[in-house]
Chains A and B, each alone.
Chain A
C-alpha cells in the first residue's frame, strides 16, 4: 500500500499556528534589536501581565471557536467579575470568598449565554452581543456612584494574587501558560478534546456518534465565562483597582487573536497553541506601538489590516486548494475575455 508522508504541521493542523508564532517571534526579535526598552525588566514584566489575562480569556474563546461558536461578552464579564470581587472585598469578605463571588458572576453569565444558545438555539452572535450590552449596562449602573478610578484600596492578600513573581517571571503569566498547555493536552490527547473538534466539524453527524451537542455547548460557554472572570479577578488584583474600563473592547482583540492563531468561526479548526500565538502577536504589536510611541489609532489600523489580510489569504488558500489557477482566482481570465472581445 502506497503511503505518502504527511508533514507534521499538516497532520497536526498547526500550519497557521506556526506561521503566527514565527511572525510574533520576528516582532520580538526586531524589538529586541532596535529598541533598548524592550528587554528592560519593567517592560517584560508589564508585557507578561498584559498577556496573562488575555491568554486566559483566549483559552475560553478558543474552546468555543473549536465548536463553531464565539462569545463576545467576555470583555464585559471580565470587567463585571473584577468589580464584583472588589465590591465583595469592600463589603468585608475574605479574599477567597471575594474571588468566588467574581467567579460566580462569570460562571453565571456564561450559563446564561449557554442557556440561550444551547438550550433555546438562538444565534450566538446575537446572544453574546446582547449579553455584552446588558453586562456593560449593569457595570455602568453599579459604577454610576463611583469615582472614575472605581474600587481601590484592596487588602494585601488580594493584590498579592496578581503581583506574585519569581525571577523575572510573573506568577499570573506562568499560571496562564500552564492552563493553556493543560487545555492543549486535553484537546490533543483525550476523547473529550477530540469530541470538541468532531462537534465543530459536523454538528449533525456528531449527534449520531453520541456527542451531546447542547450539553457540550452549554459547558463551553460556562467555561468561557468562568475563565473571563478569572482573568478579571487577576487583572483587578494586579492593577489594584476595578473600574468600568476594564476589558472594554477586549472581546474583539481576543476574537481576532483566535482567528489569526488559526481558529475559524465555522468551527472544527484551531488549537490552544494557536490562541497563544495570536495573543502573543497582538500583545507584542501593542507593545511595539507603545515602545515606539505610535498613537493608539495606528494600532487599530494595523490590527484591522492584519485581520483583513489574514482573512483574504485564508480565502485565497481555500480557493487554491480547490485547484483553481491563480488566473481564475485573481480574475485575470476576465481581462483576457475583454481583450479578446475588443480584438
Chain B
C-alpha cells in the first residue's frame, strides 16, 4: 500500500510502459486448485495464470466455479488442494485477504447514507491528527472522479445518485486502494451503456497504469473489448486460456457451453393476430411521456432504452406497479390505466420483474409455493387451496421448463441464477396470460440458460401470446423481437423493424445521434 494514497500523479504512461517491459513475471498463479463443499466438487484442478499488467477475463456459466475461484483468490476461502502463488510466492488465504488484492463484489456494497467522497475512502479516511481530513478527502475524490470524466459532486449523498453512478463509486473505492490486482465481478451488470463504456475505459486506463485486472462478466462483447487474455471455466475446471486475438463471441460461447448454439436471428413465420395490448399516449410527467405502443397476438415487441430513457418506469406502469398520470392502457378494448397488478393479471396481462431477488421469488419458500403464488385464487375453491393441483402444476412446470432442481420442495436460494429465472418464468406463465410483459428476461443468467429462456419466449409467442420484452441487452432483443421500439429521454424515439433491425441503427436512436 502506498502510505500517501492517491497523492502521486495518477497517469504516467511512460512509467507504465517501462514497468511492463521490465517486469513480466506472473502476478498470480493458481495451480491445481480443488475445492469441495460436502459431496459436491466446486472446483477440480483449476489452473490460472495472470500476468502482471494484463486484463484477464474469466468466463463461465453460472455454477462453472467463477465465484468460488474469485473467493479463493481474494482470500475468503482456502482451497482443499493446489497452490495459489502471488508474485511467485505461495500464499495462504489470510495472507491474500490482508494483501494487495482489491475485489469489487457483484452485490452493490455502497453506503447510501454517506457522501461520495466518504464512500470512495471508506475504511481508509485520510486523517490529520486524530481527525478526518475532509478537505484532503474531497480534493482527492474530486481528482479521482474527474480523471474518469464523472461529473459527480463529492459532497453529494450517495442515495441521490443513480444505481449506475453508485456502482462506479464503489469501483472507485477499490481503484483508490491502488492494489496491484483488482478483481471486478460482473461490474457492468447494473450499468447502462454509457456508464459501462466509462467503466471499460477506466479498466483500460488502469491496465496502462500497470494494474492487473481480473474481470468477470456475462457480457461477451465487453470481454472481447478489453481483455488481453480470457480463461474459460466449465464444470469447475479450467477449459482453456485464450489470447484475445481475432476472437469472436461464438468462439467464447462454444468453449463455455461445449457446444454450438443456434445462430443469431431465427427467421420466423408465425401468424400474427389481432391487437391484444394497446398503449395510447401513456404519460407520467418526469418518468415517461406520450408513450404509444401496440402489441398483437403472436408478436414479440422489444422495448429498448438506455438508463434514464423511461423504459423501466414505463414497464412498471404498464403492469400497474407505478402510477401513470394520463393516457390509456387498453387490454381487449378496456382501459386499464391505474388498475393494480391484480386487475392486470385478471385481464390477462402477466409481468416478469427485472430483479428476481428483489421482487418475483420467495427465496425461502418451496418451488411449489413459488409457482402457485400468482394462481392461488384460481386453484382455490371457496378460499381453500387445492394442494394436489398445486403440486401437479409444479411438477409439470419443472419438466416443461427443464428446471434443474433437487425436488419440487427445494427453495430458490438453493438454485443457480438460470434455474431461479426459470422458476420465475413458471410463476409468470402460471395463469396462462394473453399478454406477457417481460422485464430483463435473462438478467444474470448464463449463456446456456439464456438460450433456453429465449426458446420459451418464442414458443409463447408462437402459441399466440402477445409479448413485450424490455431489455437493455440489445443483442438479445435483436435475436428475439419482430420489431423494436426505442425510448430516449422519456419518449419514444422511434421504431425499428424488418431490415432495419441493426445494432448500430438502434443504438443511434437510443443515444440520440440519429
Contacts and interface: CB of A to CB of B under 8 A. Distances in A.
B8 interface: no
Interface stretch (B14-22, B151-159, B370-378, B379-387): B151-159
Contacts of A1: 142, 145-146, 151
B132 A189 contact: yes
A190 B284 contact: no
B459 interface: no
Contact of A202 (B111, B145, B146): B111
B113 interface: yes
Nearest to A329: B323
Contacts of B160: 321
A269 B160 CA distance: 15
B131 A202 contact: no
A324 interface: yes
Interface stretch (A35-43, A110-118, A173-181, A205-213): A205-213
6 contacts: A3-B153, A190-B132, A197-B111, A202-B110, A202-B111, A325-B323
B263 interface: no
Contacts of B287: 323
B112 interface: yes
A209 B335 CA distance: 52
Given A201-B112, A323-B286, A327-B325, A337 B123 contact: no
B363 interface: no
Of B113, B124, B156, B335, most buried by chain A (CB within 10 Å of CB) is B113
A324 B109 CA distance: 26
Dominant SS among interface residues on chain A: helix
A325 B153 contact: no
B446 interface: no
B335 A194 contact: no
A206 to B, nearest CB: 8
Contacts of A2: 151
Nearest to B105: A208
B111 A269 contact: no
A210 B114 contact: no
B430 interface: no
Contact of A337 (B112, B118, B131, B337): B337
Interface in B187-207: none
A11 B338 contact: no
A269 B159 CA distance: 12
Interface in A313-343: 321, 323-325, 327-328, 333-334, 336-337, 340
A102 interface: no
A232 B404 CA distance: 62
B154 to A, nearest CB: 9
B338 A194 contact: no
A268 B119 CA distance: 13
Interface residues of A, number: 37
A132 to B, nearest CB: 28
B64 to A, nearest CB: 24
B113 A334 contact: no
A10 interface: yes
B139 interface: no
Q: Which 7 A-B pairs have the closest CB atoms?
A: A209-B123, A328-B323, A205-B109, A337-B338, A268-B113, A201-B113, A201-B111
A53 interface: no
Contacts of B286: 323, 325
Nearest to A188: B132
A336 B338 contact: yes
Contacts of B146: 1
A11 B155 contact: yes
A337 B142 CA distance: 48
B115 A11 contact: yes
Interface of A: 1-4, 6, 10-11, 13, 189-191, 194, 197-198, 200-202, 204-206, 208-211, 268-269, 321, 323-325, 327-328, 333-334, 336-337, 340
Main secondary structure of the interface of B (DSSP, over half): loop
B339 interface: yes
A302 to B, nearest CB: 30
Interface string B14-39: 00000000000000000000000000
Given A1-B146, A200-B113, A191 B132 contact: yes
B111 A325 contact: no
A194 B118 contact: yes
Given A197-B114, A333-B325, 11 more contacts: A1-B146, A6-B153, A190-B130, A190-B131, A197-B111, A200-B113, A202-B111, A205-B111, A268-B111, A328-B323, A333-B338
Nearest to B339: A337
Contacts of B339: 337
Given A194-B132, A210-B123, A13 B157 contact: yes
A189 B145 CA distance: 23
Contact of B111 (A198, A327, A333): A198
A282 to B, nearest CB: 25
Q: Identify which of B109, B145, B322 gathers the most chain A CB atoms within 10 Å of its CB.
A: B109
Contact of B284 (A6, A204, A325, A337): A325
B8 to A, nearest CB: 21
Given A200-B113, A202-B110, A10 B123 contact: no
B153 A4 contact: yes
A333 to B, nearest CB: 5
Contacts of A327: 323, 325
A317 B110 CA distance: 22
A13 B113 CA distance: 9
B284 A198 contact: no
Given A197-B114, A268-B111, A333-B338, A325 B151 contact: no
A328 B284 CA distance: 10
B413 interface: no
Contacts of B226: none
A199 to B, nearest CB: 9
A106 B285 CA distance: 55
A334 B324 CA distance: 10
A201 B284 CA distance: 32
Contact of A198 (B122, B323, B338): B122
B127 interface: yes
A218 B337 CA distance: 51
B109 A6 contact: no
Which of B110, B123, B146 counts the most A-chain CB atoms under 10 A from its CB? B123
Contacts of A323: 286-287
Interface in B245-295: 284-287
Nearest to B107: A204
A97 B312 CA distance: 66
B451 to A, nearest CB: 34
